[in-house]
Amino acid sequence: MRLLNYCCIIAGGALMMACKPALQTGAAYFENFTYEGNDAIYADNPLPGKDAVYNPILPGWYSDPSMCTNGEGDYYLVTSTFSYFPGVPIFHSRDLVNWKQIGNVLDRPSQLVGLDRQHISGGIFAPDIKYNPANKTYYMITTNVGAGNFVVKTKDPAGPWSDPILLPQVQGIDPSLFFDEDGKAYIVNNDDAPDGKPEYDGHRTIRIVEYDTENDCTVGERKIIINKGVDPSKKPIWIEGPHLYKIGGKYYLMAAEGGTGDMHSEVIFRSDSPMEGYEPWGKNPILTQRHLPADRTDPVTCAGHADILQTPEGDWWAVFLGCRPNRKGFENLGRETFMMPVRWSEDGFPIITEGDETVPVVVRHPGTSAGDNPTFGNFKTTDEFDGNALGMEWMTLRGPADDLYSFDKGNLVLKCSEKSATQYETPSLVLRRIQHHVFSASTKMRFTPTGEEAAGLLLFKDERHQYFLKVCLVGGEKAVVVEKIGAEPSVLGTVFLKDTSSPVELFINSKDGLSFNFLCATSGKEPEPVAQEADASYLSTAVAGGFTGTTVGPYAIK
């Protein structure tokens, strides 16, 4: 039986016993974790109180959004997770404004085979969610870069979802499903150039194949329906992320084009048949920000990879990804989920933006207002770790890591593991997204290093771009250290702790999105700097590359 430390308190003449966990050697005890965002853009653009929503609706790294409706007023939305676990968060809404995460589609290792060997920007690409009214079943189709394309399905979007149904005939990435009115189903996705012989870098195709929903397999010939993109003479790159719709008796194929950077866009094609004859709209793209001046106010870049649906009231809405760079042109938030209304051209094509229209900070959405806990705007949240499971905002790398963390009397306990966040492994690390340029993250931790162990807060972009605010031994003395981790690692600052028995409070903040500040405190004293103004661009996509954003959370290693 584990021994407990007891703190005796005299209150009202009675002896009260407040229990604290006995510290295990080689483990760190995190009493809490607080995240707060405070971007000025929200204060500068207050919501009118109703009929409006902030963009992005899911701030921070929520990329490649897809949504569906069951036609009864329920909406569901999913996004990519790459090599994080669990995979594919799923959100529910009744009004397209107030979203609540209800689970994760891929929440078991059996659904994520091979994730443990992949780079952080590998794993799960571009999930697509659809509802099939014919069998009242929800489907999610996606790519696991290490295992191929697959489908999972369920009657209840909150889960559980099935184990993967593999689709070996569907090569490439970014598959999506379409259920036609006649009961047939189709898969469209991005694939190689014809015969695997690209004419230029970025030459891709969109292909289609019929899908048998009774036997969960593809049937018949798989055909190329788009080669290169809207205008093949201009050598368009990376036609991808396709979605197929039937609207007014016509088939519409919508896809991203131009790559995932500043040239990103969304384009549209139309046909009388699902399997052939797609013609591009003459006024493509239907969504982009690539031609707008870089010095515009509150820029949104990289807009594309969209999905659309119609509400029971007849309105059309789109979700899509975009980035919000800071004044120096980089960002640490990753690709975020935005929403805008869809309007229709006189010749019957959907439009999200046209001309010099910008993606707005505030979107008008009549008849709705933000609830008590919106996903957007500024907010503060604290996890007291007083349950027996991680909240839905937390993620681990490549696997559940449930052998490395536990809960003990209001503490998240992380074992110090030899597996590092620099490896393609599952370290002793739990992370949440950074969702604001101006933010703070903090924790109170009990940890007694005896050798090479270290524990604290990690800012994580990928295996080669990290900042670690850690408690460790330096020359045999307990200290707080800031380490820059990567190809050229360095120590940015050290504070030796005079009080070695009290909990240590650790703080990370950014005041402008351009740099990070690291602080520590003990015994209720004012925080003191460990390292100031560390370059935030080091964790940006502009420097590090990849498809994810920056995450932060407790970490323990030996």
Catalytic positions: 64, 240
Nearest CA to 494 out of 508, 482, 502, 484 is that of: 482
Contacts of residue 109, Cβ cutoff 8 Å, sequence gap at least 6 = 85, 115, 399, 400
Q: How far apart are CA 518 and CA 369, in angstroms?
A: 37
Tokens of residue 486, six digits: 């990567």
Asked whether the beta carbons of 207 and 172 are under 8 A apart, the reply is yes
Sheet holding 100-106, edge to edge: 66-69, 75-78, 87-93, 100-106
Q: What residue type is 354 in one-letter code?
A: E
Name the H helices within 392-497: none
Question: By CB neighbour count within 10 A (0-12 exposed, 13-18 middle, 19+ buried), where does 91 fall?
Answer: buried
Three-class SS state of 370 = coil
Q: How far apart are CA 444 and CA 205, in angstroms?
A: 52
Pairing of strands 551-557, 432-433: antiparallel
Q: How far apart are CA 261 and CA 190, in angstroms?
A: 18
Buried b (16+ CB within 10 A) or exposed e, 406-432: eebebbbbbbbbebbbbebbbbbbbbb
Distances (CA, A) of 138 to 154, 165, 398: 5, 14, 25
Q: How far apart are CA 30 and CA 43, in angstroms?
A: 32
Asked whether the beta carbons of 55 and 362 are under 8 A apart, the reply is yes
Asked whether the beta carbons of 521 and 309 are under 8 A apart, the reply is no
Nearest CA to 440 out of 31, 30, 37 is that of: 37
Tokens of residue 483, six digits: 């380490």
Q: What residue type is 313 in one-letter code?
A: E
